[in-house]
Amino acid sequence: MKFLIFAASHRKESYNRRLAKLAAAHMKSQGARVDFAEYAEFDLPVYNDEIAVSGGVPEAALCFAERAAKCDGIILASPEYNWSYPGSLKNIIDWTSRVKPNRLAGKTALLMSATTGGRGGITGLAHLKTPLEAISFFVFPRVFPLPHADTAFDGKGALADAQKQQLFTGLLNGYTDFTRKLV
Protein backbone atom coordinates (compact mmCIF):
# COMPACT_ATOMS: atom_id res chain seq x y z
CA MET A 1 0.00 0.00 0.00
CA LYS A 2 1.20 3.50 -0.75
CA PHE A 3 -0.23 6.79 0.51
CA LEU A 4 0.23 10.44 -0.42
CA ILE A 5 0.19 12.38 2.84
CA PHE A 6 0.16 16.14 3.30
CA ALA A 7 -1.18 19.00 5.39
CA ALA A 8 -3.12 21.86 3.83
CA SER A 9 -1.10 24.53 5.62
CA HIS A 10 1.96 26.57 4.69
CA ARG A 11 2.61 27.53 8.32
CA LYS A 12 6.11 26.58 9.48
CA GLU A 13 4.78 25.39 12.84
CA SER A 14 1.57 23.89 11.38
CA TYR A 15 -0.29 21.56 13.74
CA ASN A 16 -1.77 19.84 10.72
CA ARG A 17 1.72 19.07 9.39
CA ARG A 18 2.54 17.55 12.80
CA LEU A 19 -0.59 15.40 12.55
CA ALA A 20 0.25 14.43 8.96
CA LYS A 21 3.82 13.51 10.04
CA LEU A 22 2.41 11.38 12.85
CA ALA A 23 0.14 9.59 10.37
CA ALA A 24 3.09 9.06 8.00
CA ALA A 25 5.22 7.56 10.79
CA HIS A 26 2.45 5.14 11.77
CA MET A 27 1.71 4.07 8.20
CA LYS A 28 5.44 3.42 7.63
CA SER A 29 5.60 1.41 10.87
CA GLN A 30 2.80 -0.80 9.45
CA GLY A 31 4.77 -1.46 6.26
CA ALA A 32 3.09 1.09 3.96
CA ARG A 33 5.04 3.31 1.60
CA VAL A 34 4.56 7.04 2.04
CA ASP A 35 4.95 10.00 -0.30
CA PHE A 36 4.99 12.99 2.07
CA ALA A 37 4.30 16.29 0.30
CA GLU A 38 4.68 19.87 1.44
CA TYR A 39 1.62 22.02 0.71
CA ALA A 40 3.74 24.55 -1.23
CA GLU A 41 4.42 21.86 -3.85
CA PHE A 42 0.76 22.24 -4.89
CA ASP A 43 0.63 26.05 -5.01
CA LEU A 44 -1.64 27.04 -7.91
CA PRO A 45 -3.20 30.17 -9.40
CA VAL A 46 -6.85 30.68 -8.53
CA TYR A 47 -8.88 28.48 -10.88
CA ASN A 48 -9.66 30.29 -14.11
CA ASP A 49 -11.32 28.46 -16.96
CA GLU A 50 -9.63 30.72 -19.52
CA ILE A 51 -6.21 29.54 -18.25
CA ALA A 52 -7.45 25.95 -18.26
CA VAL A 53 -8.65 26.20 -21.85
CA SER A 54 -5.81 28.25 -23.34
CA GLY A 55 -2.78 27.15 -21.29
CA GLY A 56 -3.89 23.78 -19.94
CA VAL A 57 -3.72 22.61 -16.36
CA PRO A 58 -0.76 24.07 -14.41
CA GLU A 59 2.20 21.85 -13.58
CA ALA A 60 1.45 21.77 -9.82
CA ALA A 61 -2.01 20.26 -10.43
CA LEU A 62 -0.57 17.70 -12.83
CA CYS A 63 2.04 16.92 -10.17
CA PHE A 64 -0.66 16.42 -7.51
CA ALA A 65 -2.71 14.18 -9.80
CA GLU A 66 0.35 12.16 -10.81
CA ARG A 67 1.57 11.65 -7.25
CA ALA A 68 -1.93 10.68 -6.03
CA ALA A 69 -2.38 8.34 -9.00
CA LYS A 70 0.77 6.45 -7.96
CA CYS A 71 -0.78 5.82 -4.51
CA ASP A 72 -3.69 3.76 -3.22
CA GLY A 73 -5.02 6.66 -1.19
CA ILE A 74 -4.38 10.11 0.24
CA ILE A 75 -4.25 11.17 3.87
CA LEU A 76 -5.02 14.82 4.31
CA ALA A 77 -4.70 16.97 7.43
CA SER A 78 -6.58 20.21 6.86
CA PRO A 79 -7.03 23.29 9.02
CA GLU A 80 -10.54 24.62 9.49
CA TYR A 81 -11.01 28.18 8.23
CA ASN A 82 -14.28 29.87 9.15
CA TRP A 83 -16.13 26.59 9.73
CA SER A 84 -14.97 25.11 6.46
CA TYR A 85 -11.72 23.97 4.82
CA PRO A 86 -9.20 26.35 3.19
CA GLY A 87 -10.06 27.83 -0.20
CA SER A 88 -6.58 26.90 -1.44
CA LEU A 89 -7.48 23.24 -0.96
CA LYS A 90 -10.71 23.60 -2.93
CA ASN A 91 -8.62 25.27 -5.63
CA ILE A 92 -6.33 22.21 -5.83
CA ILE A 93 -9.37 19.94 -6.11
CA ASP A 94 -10.93 22.15 -8.80
CA TRP A 95 -7.73 22.16 -10.91
CA THR A 96 -7.32 18.41 -10.37
CA SER A 97 -10.86 17.82 -11.67
CA ARG A 98 -9.71 19.22 -15.03
CA VAL A 99 -6.92 16.62 -15.41
CA LYS A 100 -8.14 14.06 -17.97
CA PRO A 101 -8.38 11.15 -17.79
CA ASN A 102 -9.19 11.04 -14.09
CA ARG A 103 -6.73 8.48 -12.71
CA LEU A 104 -7.88 9.19 -9.14
CA ALA A 105 -11.30 7.51 -9.48
CA GLY A 106 -11.56 4.75 -6.89
CA LYS A 107 -8.66 5.95 -4.74
CA THR A 108 -9.42 6.40 -1.04
CA ALA A 109 -9.04 9.41 1.23
CA LEU A 110 -8.68 9.79 4.99
CA LEU A 111 -9.47 13.23 6.41
CA MET A 112 -8.14 14.76 9.61
CA SER A 113 -7.98 18.23 11.05
CA ALA A 114 -6.04 19.93 13.84
CA THR A 115 -7.41 23.23 15.09
CA THR A 116 -6.77 25.53 17.99
CA GLY A 117 -10.54 25.72 18.43
CA GLY A 118 -12.59 23.33 20.55
CA ARG A 119 -14.30 21.28 17.82
CA GLY A 120 -11.25 20.05 15.94
CA GLY A 121 -12.44 21.16 12.52
CA ILE A 122 -15.31 18.69 12.32
CA THR A 123 -17.42 21.04 10.15
CA GLY A 124 -14.59 21.66 7.70
CA LEU A 125 -14.04 17.91 7.38
CA ALA A 126 -17.72 17.34 6.58
CA HIS A 127 -17.44 19.96 3.81
CA LEU A 128 -14.19 18.56 2.42
CA LYS A 129 -15.75 15.14 1.81
CA THR A 130 -18.07 16.48 -0.91
CA PRO A 131 -15.63 17.73 -3.60
CA LEU A 132 -13.38 14.70 -3.05
CA GLU A 133 -16.37 12.47 -3.77
CA ALA A 134 -17.13 14.62 -6.81
CA ILE A 135 -13.76 13.58 -8.26
CA SER A 136 -14.55 9.95 -7.36
CA PHE A 137 -12.52 9.33 -4.22
CA PHE A 138 -13.92 6.85 -1.69
CA VAL A 139 -13.74 8.94 1.48
CA PHE A 140 -13.30 6.92 4.69
CA PRO A 141 -16.48 7.54 6.72
CA ARG A 142 -14.63 8.19 9.98
CA VAL A 143 -12.51 11.33 10.38
CA PHE A 144 -10.04 12.57 13.00
CA PRO A 145 -10.78 16.01 14.47
CA LEU A 146 -8.08 17.23 16.89
CA PRO A 147 -9.24 20.19 19.01
CA HIS A 148 -6.92 22.44 21.06
CA ALA A 149 -4.00 21.40 18.86
CA ASP A 150 -1.70 23.94 20.52
CA THR A 151 -1.61 21.73 23.64
CA ALA A 152 -2.34 18.32 22.04
CA PHE A 153 1.21 17.24 21.12
CA ASP A 154 3.96 16.09 23.46
CA GLY A 155 7.63 17.08 23.12
CA LYS A 156 8.28 14.23 20.66
CA GLY A 157 5.42 15.18 18.29
CA ALA A 158 3.08 12.38 19.41
CA LEU A 159 -0.37 13.03 20.87
CA ALA A 160 -0.05 13.79 24.57
CA ASP A 161 -3.33 12.03 25.43
CA ALA A 162 -2.69 8.27 25.29
CA GLN A 163 -6.36 7.48 24.63
CA LYS A 164 -6.42 9.90 21.69
CA GLN A 165 -3.19 8.42 20.32
CA GLN A 166 -4.82 4.97 20.46
CA LEU A 167 -7.90 6.28 18.65
CA PHE A 168 -5.64 7.82 16.02
CA THR A 169 -3.69 4.64 15.28
CA GLY A 170 -6.94 2.60 15.32
CA LEU A 171 -8.39 4.97 12.74
CA LEU A 172 -5.31 4.68 10.53
CA ASN A 173 -5.44 0.88 10.72
CA GLY A 174 -9.17 0.91 9.90
CA TYR A 175 -8.48 3.16 6.93
CA THR A 176 -5.75 0.82 5.68
CA ASP A 177 -8.20 -2.13 5.78
CA PHE A 178 -10.83 -0.04 3.98
CA THR A 179 -8.30 0.83 1.27
CA ARG A 180 -7.16 -2.78 0.92
CA LYS A 181 -10.76 -3.83 0.31
CA LEU A 182 -11.44 -1.12 -2.26
CA VAL A 183 -8.39 -0.62 -4.46
Ligand X SMILES: Cc1cc2nc3c(=O)[nH]c(=O)nc-3n(C[C@H](O)[C@H](O)[C@H](O)COP(=O)(O)O)c2cc1C
Q: Which residues bind ligand X (CB under 6 A)?
A: 7, 9, 11, 14-16, 79-83, 114-117, 121
11-15, long-range: CB < 8 A, 24+ apart: 14/79, 15/79, 15/114, 15/115, 15/116, 15/146, 15/149, 15/150, 15/152, 15/153
Nearest distance from residue 174's CB to ligand X, in Å?
23
Shortest Å, Cβ 11 to ligand X? 4
Comparison of 58 and 120: residue with beta carbon closer to ligand X: 120
Q: Which is nearer to ligand X, 58 or 145 (CB)?
A: 145
Q: Which is nearer to ligand X, 3 or 153 (CB)?
A: 153
Closest CA to 140 of 179, 102, 105, 169: 179
Instruction: List helix spans (H) across 2-121.
Output: 15-29, 49-55, 59-69, 87-96
Minimum distance between the CB of residue 38 and ligand X, rounded to whole angstroms? Answer: 12
What minimum distance in Å lies between the beta carbon of 84 and ligand X?
Answer: 7
Nearer to ligand X, 72 or 80 (CB): 80
Partners of 113 in the β-ladder? 145
